[in-house]
Amino acid sequence: MNYENILIATENNIATITINRPTKLNALNGMTISDLHKAIKTLGKNNEIRVIILTGSGEKAFVAGADIAEFANFSIEEGMQLAAEGQAKLFDYIENLKTPVIAAINGFALGGGLELAMACHFRVASDNAKMGLPEVSLGLIPGYGGTQRLPQLVGKGRAMEMIMTAGMITAEDAYRAGLVNHVVPQAELLEFCTGIAQRIMKNSPYAIGKAIKSVNANFKEGKNGYETEIKAFGKCFGTEDFKEGTTSFLEKRKATFKGK
């Protein structure tokens, strides 16, 4: 499948998606969101792909925000539709994907770009990265889940300050706040993320999918995370991965898990 604004490379069961709009600092427009949805849906169904790494082209930006020119003249109804469709098609979709998605933040991650990174299962930043939600400086608020995911990651007080000041924080500040898991030199970013992906791939794909679902349940209205965990835990007992994992442990050998 050909995509207009993204590039996909696959190697050793890892897919790397690169948002490729360098002249626009990889800003998210409707076509890019659609491309990302299609690509992630396809990769998520591919049993050979065990981890997805998401990054931006060039050395300046992961995603520098949404493409403001696309919605500058929107009505109230069109604005609500923009947020609802984007959340359903991409941001919530990534968050609930059974395949782990790592955000490799290689530069500016602002507005929709930071929201995209926060929808991923965790984040690694290059040391030159800067992050923020500047929407209130445009007379808007974050509309792709930023008001919900940022407090989950950094706490209510820090999130309020970041959103209300519309300011940017450095990669080191993001690390101290718990927004990113690691900060590495830009030249080492993808290699570092690949290393984490390889560690993830040693484990049961089925169990990882259930772990993602169970962790997410804690943050969803009307969901009991403990009940979700109990059901998911029980289902693991009926899988080939469980048999292989326990047998290999007892036989003192490395487990060999099948695809998703």
As given in the structure block, the two tokens for residue 256 are 């060999």
Compute the distance between CA of residue 48 and CA of residue 170 in angstroms, rounded to an integer.
Answer: 36
Amino acid at 63: V
Distance, CA of 7 to CA of 2 (rounded, Å) = 9
Q: Is 73 helix (H, G, I), strand (E, B) or coil?
A: coil
List % helix, strand, coil for the chain (3-state, nearest 5).
Answer: 50, 15, 30
Catalytic residue positions, numbered = 115, 135
| CB-based burial, 233-243: b 16+ in 10 Å, e otherwise | eeeeeebebee
Is 208 within 8 Å of 100 (Cβ atoms)?
A: yes
Two tokens at 30?
A: 């409707």
